[in-house]
Amino acid sequence: MAVKTITITEEAYNVLKCLKKSDQSFSEIIIEVGDEKKGNINKFFGILKHKSKELGGMQEMVQQYRRDFNKDAKTRLEKLRKQYDNP
């Protein structure tokens, strides 16, 4: 494994030292903190399972929006075609 040397302030070192468990390396604690910062998507699994009624309503809203959008896009496309077909 490649090794890099970095320079950090004394304050940053002390923060890392406080976070570090006795059996951890500084590299491991930095990776752990980085992973926490990125977030773990697993904590969101199942978060909406009790919201099925609300989600059903939202799904219908999205579907209606898509229908309206597609209808509007089709109308605009037809107008453009007529405009370019009959200059």
Whether 32 contacts 21, CB under 8 Å:
no
**Rounded to whole angstroms, how far apart are CA atoms 10 and 28?**
19
- Six token digits for residue 42: 């697993």
Residue 74 has pLDDT above 90, yes or no: yes
Q: What is the mean pLDDT of residues 10-20?
A: 90
- In this structure, what is the dihedral angle of CA atoms 30, 31, 33, 37, given to the nearest 10 degrees? 130
Higher pLDDT among residues 55 and 11, named by residue = 11
Model pTM greater than 0.75?
no
